[in-house]
Chains A and B, each alone.
Chain A
Amino acid sequence: MSIFKKIMTAIRGGASEAGEAIIDANATRIFEQEIRDAENHLTKAKRDLTGVMAEQMSAKREVDRLTREVTEHEGYATQALEKGDETLALAVAEKIATLEGTLADQQQAHDSFSGNAERLKELVKRSERQVAEHKRQLSMVKTTESVQKATSAITDNFSSSNSKLLSAKDSLERIKAKQQKFDDKMKAGELLESENSDSSLQAQLKAAGIGSQDNSANSVLERLKAKQK
C-alpha cells in the first residue's frame, strides 16, 4: 500500500486522534535508516563512477596515441619499401603488429570502462529518484504527525487558557467591527483635518480684508454717528 493511501486510511479510520501515530514510530525509524543507507550507497556509486570515468578517459588517450603511432609506422614501412629496404620494412611491420596488439587491448579496456560508466550512471540516476521518492513519502508521514501534534498543542493551550474558540461568523463580525472602527476613526480624522483647513482659510480671508470683519471701536463710532443724523 502506498504511503499516501496509508495516511488517508489512517485519518479516515480515526487515527487523527492526538497521540495515535499514523505509522508506528519504529517503522518510521526503519524507513529513515533505509533512506540513509540508500544515500550512502549513492555516494559510493558516485565515487565509483568518477573512478571509472577517469580510467575510461585515460584508456581513450592511450587508444588515440596508439592509433597515431600505428599510422606513423605505416608511413615508415611504406618509405622503407619505396627505398627497397625489405629488411627494414619487415622490422617496422613487426613493430606495427605489436602496436596493433596493444591497441586492440586498450580498445577493449576502453569499451569495458564505457559500458561500466553507462551502467553506473543509470544506477545513480535510478537511486537518486528512489531516494527522492522515499524522502517525499517520509515527509508526508512526518508532516501528518507534526500537524496532529501541533493541533493537540494548540487545543491544550486553548483549554488551559480557558479562552473559548469563537465561531467563524462571530470572529468575522468582531474583526469587521474593529475594521469599521478604524475606518470611522480615519474618517473623523479627515473631517477634523478639513475643518481645520476651513478655519485657516477664514483667517487668510480676514487678513486680506475680505469677508466679515471684527467690530472695531471705529466702526462702532461710525454706526452711532450715522444714527444721530
Chain B
Amino acid sequence: MNIHTIADHLNSLADNSDTGMSFDCQPISGEVDVLQISISDREELPIFVSVTEDQIICISYLWGAEEVKPECIHAMHESMLEMNIPMPLSSFSKIGDKYVVFGALSISSSFADVEHELAVLSNNAIEVIDDMSDYLL
C-alpha cells in the first residue's frame, strides 16, 4: 500500500465508488510523497494522504489559527476535545498554525477501508466547519 496504489484504485473507481463520491488524485512530490485527493463538488476541501511504515494518514485542513475569533479560542478547543470521540473515525489535531481533522489507518487496511475513511473524513470536515463557524471570523 502506497500513495500510488491508492491513487490508481481511487481513479479506477470513477463513478462506481461505494460512497457515491468521485475522487480525483494528484500526487505531490517532496521529501515525503503526498497524495492530494479532491472530491467532486468539494474541491475546496482536499484530503492529503501520506503513507508511513505502519500507517496511512489522511488529513483535511480546516482553518488557520488566525481565522479563530480570539475570544473564542478556549471554547473552540473545548468543543473540539469533546467532539473527538463522537466524531466517527476522525480526530482533531493541529499542524503548525493550522487546525486539521485527520484519520489514521493501519498499513494493512483494504482499499475499501481507505475509500470509506476518505468519505467519512470529508463529511466530518464539512460538518465541523459548519458547526464551528460561530467560533470563526
Q: Which stretch (B6-14, B25-33, B77-85, B110-118) binds chain A?
A: B25-33
* Residues 40-80 (chain A) with a chain B CB within 8 angstroms: none
Q: Is A175 an interface residue (CB 8 A)?
A: yes
- B130 engages A172 (CB within 8 Å): yes
Say which residue of A151, A153, A166, A179 sits within 8 Å of B95 (CB atoms): A151
Say which residue of A156, A167, A178 sits within 8 Å of B67 (CB atoms): A167
* Residues 122-137 (chain B) with a chain A CB within 8 angstroms: 126, 129-130, 133, 136-137
Task: List A contacts of B130 (CB < 8 A).
Answer: 172
- B50 engages A157 (CB within 8 Å): no
Q: Is B45 an interface residue (CB 8 A)?
A: yes
- B52 engages A146 (CB within 8 Å): yes
> Interface code A170-183, partner B: CB below 8 Å = 1, 0 otherwise?
11101100110010
Say which residue of A142, A149, A157 sits within 8 Å of B53 (CB atoms): A142
- A154 engages B48 (CB within 8 Å): yes
- A153 engages B129 (CB within 8 Å): no
- B53 engages A169 (CB within 8 Å): no
Task: List B contacts of A146 (CB < 8 A).
Answer: 32, 50, 52, 57
Say which residue of A156, A167, A175 sits within 8 Å of B126 (CB atoms): A175
> Would you give the shortest CB distance from A176 to chain B, in whole angstroms?
8
Task: List A contacts of B30 (CB < 8 A).
Answer: 149-150, 152-153, 156-157
Size of the chain A interface, CB-CB below 8 angstroms: 28
Q: Is B4 an interface residue (CB 8 A)?
A: no
Q: Is A143 an interface residue (CB 8 A)?
A: yes
- B136 engages A169 (CB within 8 Å): yes
- A143 engages B34 (CB within 8 Å): no
Q: Is B119 an interface residue (CB 8 A)?
A: no
Task: List B contacts of A167 (CB < 8 A).
Answer: 63-64, 67, 136-137
Binding site for B on A (CB under 8 A): 16, 139, 142-143, 146-154, 156-157, 165-172, 174-175, 178-179, 182
The 10 closest A-B pairs by CB, nearest first: A153-B30, A171-B44, A168-B63, A149-B32, A150-B50, A149-B31, A178-B41, A172-B129, A150-B34, A157-B28
Binding site for A on B (CB under 8 A): 28-34, 36, 41-42, 44-45, 48, 50, 52-55, 57, 59, 61-64, 67, 95-96, 126, 129-130, 133, 136-137
Other contacts beyond A152-B31, A168-B62: 13, CB < 8 A: A139-B52, A146-B32, A146-B57, A150-B48, A154-B36, A157-B28, A157-B30, A157-B36, A167-B136, A171-B45, A172-B44, A172-B126, A178-B41
